[in-house]
Each structure stands twice: as structure tokens, then as C-alpha cells.
Structure 1
Amino acid sequence: MSSNPTISVIISTYNSIPWLEKTLWSYEQQIFRDFEVVIADDGSRDDTKEFIENYAQDSRYPIIHVWHEDNGFQKSQILNKAIMACNANYVVMSDGDCIAREDFLQIHYERREPGYFLSGGYYKLPLDISQAITKDDIYTQRCFDVEWLKERGLPASYKNQKLTAGFVTAKVMENLTPTNASWNGHNSSGWLEDIKKVNGFDERMQYGGQDRELGERLFNLGIKSKQIRYSAICLHLDHARGYKNQESIDKNKAIRKSTRDEKKSYTPFGINKE
């Protein structure tokens, strides 16, 4: 392995050790191995720090823990700190409640291209199945098997195609999907240099759309996006969202509108403060 990894994976977390542990287990099984994980920790308690320190001792990949004091929902701030801690020139972003299929990083690696970012999605699991998934279910990859999930009560849905699409079908569906290839914080990737050019995340933004707004500035910079939502698969574990509030969502919508209307490719409220 080179001194600097090929990919830095940024995973955000906040006081959620059981979900973070399942997420980290899924990276032990990745086919693509030349990566590090940077945990963007938005002020978790000491038990999370202790868990990460213990976990890192036996992990197959290097782990960097980036933390700041808890000051409410400040995900944009901690993500910017995590961006600055990355040692690779290519960055995959996901969340500490998303179990990555074994080919997740391989897909991001193979599809990366100068002048583009990659836009993936997730498959959302109900709470009872999220809780029931074990280390062994992740290591054997059976948690990605639709039949196995159905046996555990997964409802039938057209969304199940995400888990059953083979390589060719996935590419066809990505070409046909009406879903906009936006920057999605749970499953997107891009070049570190491009992310720094737009000055990372806008730290005025709290819950709701701060990832999309970053993508909109990348578009304004001239970066295009590619859809990988049926190829790069992750399972989203269910949980409550105590930090969701309408005021924050409305404020963020106004910032996004200004970014689009004025075609801004840079925020003065990002990594570098002016």
C-alpha cells in the first residue's frame, strides 16, 4: 500500500456506537482495500472515542477520528474538518448508519473521473431489521440479499430492484432514472481538489440539504455528475432524527436558492473563513 491511500472515506457519526460499529464492519469486507476511514464526529460523548480507539487497534484499514465539542447539529463544520484530515486525493462520503456492500468502494474507484463527482443512493431498512443485522450477516453479505431481508419482514417494493440489479441492469437503470445525480451525503464521491475549490460545506447550514448545496456549487464550478445509485449499494439503518426542524430546513432552502440563482461556486462560510 502506498504511503497515502487512494481513497479517503469520510463517515459522519454522533452518539451512535451500535450503528457506527456495523458501518465499520462493512468496510472490513471491501474488495477495494487501499483506503482510510476518517470519522467526522459531531461531538459524541467519550464512549464513542473509546470505542473508535479500541476498534482501530484490530481494523484492517487506518482510522482517523476527527471530533469537536458538541454544539448542536454542526455536521457541516465537522465534515470540513474531516476533509482537511484526508490523506487521499479522492474522497468518498457516507454516514455512520450506512452499511456498504463489499463492492461499494470498488465501484466508486472504477467510476471516478476527472471533472465529475459520483452520486449514489441508499436502501432504507426498517428499524427492527436494522437492529437484527449481526457482524456475521455483514461479513457473509447476506444482509444485502433481498430474499434474506424478506424472510425478516422486508415489504415488497420496486425499490428492492436496487439490491437485485446485476451489473448491466444497474447501468441501464442509472441511465434511465429520473432522479437527479446530486451530491448525497450518505453515498457520493469526488476529487479532494474540487471539494476544496468550492471551499467545502457551507457552515451556516444545519440539518437539511447541506450536501446538495455542496453539489450545486460543484456544478457551478463546471463539475458534472454521474449516477451510481444502482451500482454502489449501501443499507441505511433506521433511527430517530431529533435534530430535524423546519426553521433549519427553511434557512437551508434559502441558502441553496441563492447558490443556484447567483451561480455561486464558492462559499465564504466554508473551510477557509473570510
Structure 2
Amino acid sequence: MPNISVIISTYNQPEWLEKVLYGYEIQSYTDFEIIIADDGSTQETKTLIERFSETSKYNISHVWQEDKGFRKTKILNKAIVASQGEYLILTDGDCIPRKDFVQCHFELRKSGCFLSGGYFKLPQSISKKITKEDIENQNCFDKRWLLDQGLKKSFKLNKLTSKGLKERLLNTLTPTKATWDGMNASGWKQDILKVNGFDERMAYGGEDRELGERLMNLGAKPIQIRYSAICVHLYHTRGYKNEAAEQANLKIRKETKSKKKTWTDFGIKKDKA
């Protein structure tokens, strides 16, 4: 049984998912399984996963559901149930992990806490340029290489360059609150089951943070590691954004906060009994 289950959500992005899987093949910490939570992708994604599974050092599971619109919360719940690790890392199929990504989550995990990691967004031009070799050589995490490819300088580059004291200092001083962000977060499976996983009523827009809010209501402490556990976020449009859904999500989150809810009746178990 692996210590950790890495759950990767995806939907019809096989080109990006392939790069992400290359990133997990070179992780410094290796006692984990990979579960791909697929919200209805076509055969191309299935073929990619099957090809990777044949040669990967890891057990890769493909949890799929029919495409009926944005149902990420539902497929993530299915993946959580299918997971074998006692500790879960949740991320997306367009986020390439740095080689120490899983190790950081493993080493920084604490009982009664969840971890809130970081990501560095890349423009489309650089996202397309990244090759398997660039991932293996960690070029896509190298400041100089990225600037040579046309990346604009910004303070956010510190996510890629911070180590040791600077890394810990920025984790402490950042004004960004530690939240459950679906691109890079981790927690104990038993805690996630105690809050009944994701609320399946929720479409895109804060559905991941609502899970974190129930975990905090349960007593779990969020720990900021956005300058420690790093992934680069490949460019994509968000055609699934929906104002009505976001407003409905805000209403659910408001109720979660005001009533200090730790359980959703619309999660893994559909009734508390």
C-alpha cells in the first residue's frame, strides 16, 4: 500500500497531461500511486494513460465518468474512494510538478493539518515549448531558461528560486491565505472522509476551497507552503466558467462558513446515516 495517493484531475487535455505525468516519473520521493480523475475525456486521454501505465514505475489508475458538463467534484470523490494512500495530494492535469513536489508534501505533512501549495502560471507560448527533456532537466523550473523563452520578470519568480530561509520566510509573510486550492493541496484521507469529500452540487468556482473550509471547521489547520511545493501551471482557457454557477457556489460557501458546517449531504455519502 502506498503512503501517498496523487489525484490528478483532467478533462480533454492529453498534451498537457502527458507533460504532467513525465513530471511524476522523476519525483525524488517514490512511494505513491497516481489516480487520474477524468471528468469525461475522449479516447485520446484513455490511450495516453494506458501507454504510460505500461512503462511507469507507479501504479496509475484511471477513474472516468461520462461527460455531462463540469462535474469535477463528483469525479474527485470517486477518485478519493478509489485511493489507497493514507495521505492525498490533489492537483490538476495541467500542473507539472517539480521533482521534489511529492517529497515536500510528504515531509511537511502534519496530523490535524492540510497543506496549501503554490503554482507558477506560464503563458501559452512557453507551455507549448516544454518538452520531455525540459521536464527531466527541470528547465521549466529554471528562472534563466524561462526568461530566455520570453517570460516577463515578476516577483512571482521567487516561487521558483526560493530555498531554505527565504522559502520559509516567504511562506510566513505572504498575504495570501492558506486555502485548499485544487491545483496543489494535500491532506489526510481520513479527514477528507470525515467532511464527506467535495460537495457535488458545486460547479467551477471555489468548489475546492469549500472543502478546505469544512476541514477548517472540523479543526484542521491550513499550512502555507506555496514557496515550497511547486508546480508550473500550463496555459489554458476556462470555457467552463459560469457566473450563475459561481454565485450558487458562493451561497453554499457562505452557509458553510456561517453554520460552521463540517459535513455535506451532497458528497461521497449522500446521507449521513
Q: Is TM more than 0.5 here?
A: yes
Residue equivalent to 1:10:
7
Superposition TM-score, scaled by structure 1 size:
0.98
Residue equivalent to 2:241:
244
Distance 1:142 1:51 in 2: 24
Superposition TM-score, scaled by structure 2 size:
0.98
1:167–1:231 Cα contact (<8 Å) kept: no
Equivalent of residue 71 in structure 1, options 59, 68, 72? 68
| Code of the aligned partner of 1:241 | R
Equivalent of residue 179 in structure 1, options 156, 176, 179? 176
Distance 1:49 1:157 in 2: 37
1:5 match: secondary structure: coil
Equivalent of residue 151 in structure 1, options 131, 148, 151? 148
Matched, 1:111 2:136: no
Matched, 1:263 2:254: no
How many angstroms does 1:239 deviate by? 0.7
Q: Residues 187-206 of structure 1 correspond to what in structure 2 (within 5 A)?
A: 187-206=184-203
| Code of the aligned partner of 1:53 | E
Q: Residues 2-41 of structure 1 correspond to what in structure 2 (within 5 A)?
A: 4-41=1-38
| C-alpha distance after superposition, 1:91-122 (max 9, x if no partner) | 00000000000000111000001100000121
Q: Residues 40-51 of structure 1 correspond to what in structure 2 (within 5 A)?
A: 40-51=37-48
Identity within the alignment, %: 58
Residue equivalent to 1:120:
117
| Code of the aligned partner of 2:223 | K
Equivalent of residue 133 in structure 2, options 131, 136, 140? 136
1:11 match: secondary structure: strand
How many angstroms does 1:51 deviate by? 1.4
1:232 match: secondary structure: strand
| C-alpha distance after superposition, 1:59-84 (max 9, x if no partner) | 12110100011010000000000000
Matched, 1:208 2:201: no
| Code of the aligned partner of 1:182 | T
2:5–2:33 Cα contact (<8 Å) kept: yes
Distance 1:93 1:247 in 2: 26
Equivalent of residue 94 in structure 2, options 83, 93, 97? 97
Distance 2:8 2:108 in 1: 20
| C-alpha distance after superposition, 1:102-157 (max 9, x if no partner) | 00011100000110000012100000000100000000111100110000000010
1:130–1:237 Cα contact (<8 Å) kept: yes
Residue equivalent to 2:56:
59
2:228 match: secondary structure: coil
Distance 2:130 2:164 in 1: 25
2:118–2:159 Cα contact (<8 Å) kept: no
**Structure 2 residues without counterparts, runs of 5 or longer:** none
Tell me how large the CA RMSD over aligned residues is.
0.6
2:205–2:245 Cα contact (<8 Å) kept: yes
Distance 2:135 2:198 in 1: 31
Residue equivalent to 1:162:
159
How many angstroms does 1:167 deviate by? 2.1
Matched, 1:225 2:222: yes
2:12–2:42 Cα contact (<8 Å) kept: yes
